[in-house]
Amino acid sequence: MEVIKYKSTRGGQEVVDASYAILKGLADDGGLYMPEKFPKFDFKFKELMHKGYKETAYEVMKLLLSDYTKEELMNCIEKAYDDKFDTKEIAPLVKADGAYFLELFHGDTIAFKDMALSILPHLLTTAAKKNGIKNKIVILTATSGDTGKAAMSGFCDVEGTGIIVFYPKDGVSNVQRLQMVTQKGDNTDVVAIHGNFDDAQSGVKKIFADKEFAKKLEESGIQLSSANSINIGRLVPQIAYYVYAYLKLLANGDIDDNEKIDVCVPTGNFGNILAAYIAKQMGLPVNKLICASNENKVLFDFFENGVYDRNRKFILTSSPSMDILISSNLERLIYLSCGCDGEYVKKLMQELAKGGKYTVTPAMKDFMKDFVGGYADEKKNFAGIKSLYDSTGYIIDTHTGVAYSVYQDYKNATKDMTATVIASTASPYKFADSVLEAILGEKQKMGDFEVIDKLHEMGAPDIPRAILEIKDAPVRHTRECDSADMQKEVEDILFNNRR
């Protein structure tokens, strides 16, 4: 099997193995790791179409994580996709209103982040052994609501690791907040910041880039890594579920072998849709990648005019995991679009850091023609959720609602009737208040858990364990800080606190 090596999108580091890239999270030059080339799938879809999720994940991931042995990788997969998921299928495909909703929310924290963050701790600890690392690995991550809980759940009490999560105090749903602040584990810490997700993400990147701080940590036997989608160990597992969805369509007779599909993804940090794009590069028959944004439509504008401009008002919406103006993973697509010119990517990222914008060349924009941008404001999102419920009884969350609304607009405008997989990224229970408001037409005067019970009455599936667990769970994490003081908070946790 071909050995795949990784290099930084900013060109400043030697090529490394997959396990080293996963261990580091972010390259030393601030760039993101990317494979030197995309291997092609070495299987026929018909051969795999009746296989389970674990077998599919292995066949996909082995190609990109080529320095992991079969035993190592299968061990990671077995530990990740177990009974923490409430369905044996792991990622069921549900047909409603002519589209296929890929339900990625059946894990511990009822959001799509579980699909990758269930396996990342095992990939990371395996990588540490492979690379002879004796240091304690501390995961430092920013979250717009879902990554934080999923990462903490995955790393909870994993030997030799710790995890610190920063989230925007006023930028997550109450259920998301409760899931984080009640998190158990002697190695978990959560900090609310006074700012938005972009502030949290920028603060984390700044800490990673501080060489003096890294030296101080090293002297204490600690090294940082990331659980954000900037870590290639987050991105690779996500490729698997698009392949799995295709195999299910094939097995169910919804498509013919090698027939192309469209994929529509609610998008914030650009990792989830990038995974679908990489699947296409590896041989998955994908036609269009429909990038669905909410009112923070920085990606929609980018695909329309080739200008990435974060200089705009930050809007808090009912789809908070998409309330992002700096889509970190877009850097990986930029890197590919300019012929993997690390120096050029570095120049654009410096422009973004200094002036908040950059412009791609016409050739780079043409390279991205597989992507179609669309966006849905709050009114359109709520109308889409209600329309789908009224016509089919199927209940979706507010992020999936954005994708569904954008898909409807795309289909109406283009008359493209290609079979379409919509990434359903969170359980409706996670944003029950907004979902109920969308369906009933007005905000309900109920408590969080009354709203959840009402949603269940209206036809949502069984209330997940993740919701039931937080109902009476004690709050364990109360830290908060200004975004400028994030490093001080990390130092306090690591050097003066419980550890």
Q: DSSP character for 443?
A: -
**Can you tell me the distance from the alpha carbon of 277 to that of 266, in angstroms, rounded to the nearest whole number?**
14
| Three-class secondary structure of residue 467 per DSSP | helix
DSSP states along 130-184: HTT--SEEEEEEE-SSSHHHHHHHHHTT-TTEEEEEEEETTSS-HHHHHHHHT--
Is beta strand 371-375 parallel, antiparallel or unpaired with respect to 286-293?
parallel
Structure tokens at 60: 């996909």
**Can you tell me the distance from the alpha carbon of 253 to that of 479, in angstroms, rounded to the nearest whole number?**
52
**Can you tell me the distance from the alpha carbon of 111 to that of 115, in angstroms, rounded to the nearest whole number?**
8
Contact, 164 vs 152, CB < 8 A? no
Contact, 151 vs 225, CB < 8 A? no
* Known catalytic residue at 113: yes
Query: Position 419: which residue type?
Result: A
How many C-beta neighbours within 10 Å does residue 20 have?
17
Exposed/middle/buried for 462, CB within 10 Å: 0-12, 13-18, 19+? exposed
Contact, 111 vs 146, CB < 8 A? yes
Vertex 8 angle, CA 270 and 222, to 5°: 95
Q: Nearest Cα to 236, choosing from 127, 348, 374, 368?
A: 127
**Can you tell me the distance from the alpha carbon of 205 to that of 141, in angstroms, rounded to the nearest whole number?**
9
**Can you tell me the distance from the alpha carbon of 183 to that of 454, in angstroms, rounded to the nearest whole number?**
26
Query: Position 202: which residue type?
Result: S
| Catalytic, out of 7, 24, 62, 113 | 113
Structure tokens at 98: 């002519």
Query: Position 463: which residue type?
Result: I
Exposed/middle/buried for 51, CB within 10 Å: 0-12, 13-18, 19+? middle
From residue 401, how far is each of 57, 223, 327, 432 by CA, in Å? 27, 39, 20, 13
User: 422 forms bridges with which residues in the sheet?
Assistant: 101, 264
Contact, 144 vs 320, CB < 8 A? yes
Q: Exposed e or buried b for every residue in 262-298, given b needs 16+ CB within 10 A?
A: bbbbbbbbbbbbbbbbbbbbbbbebbbbbbbbbbbbb
| Three-class secondary structure of residue 382 per DSSP | helix
User: 372 forms bridges with which residues in the sheet?
Assistant: 290
Residues carrying an active site annotation: 113
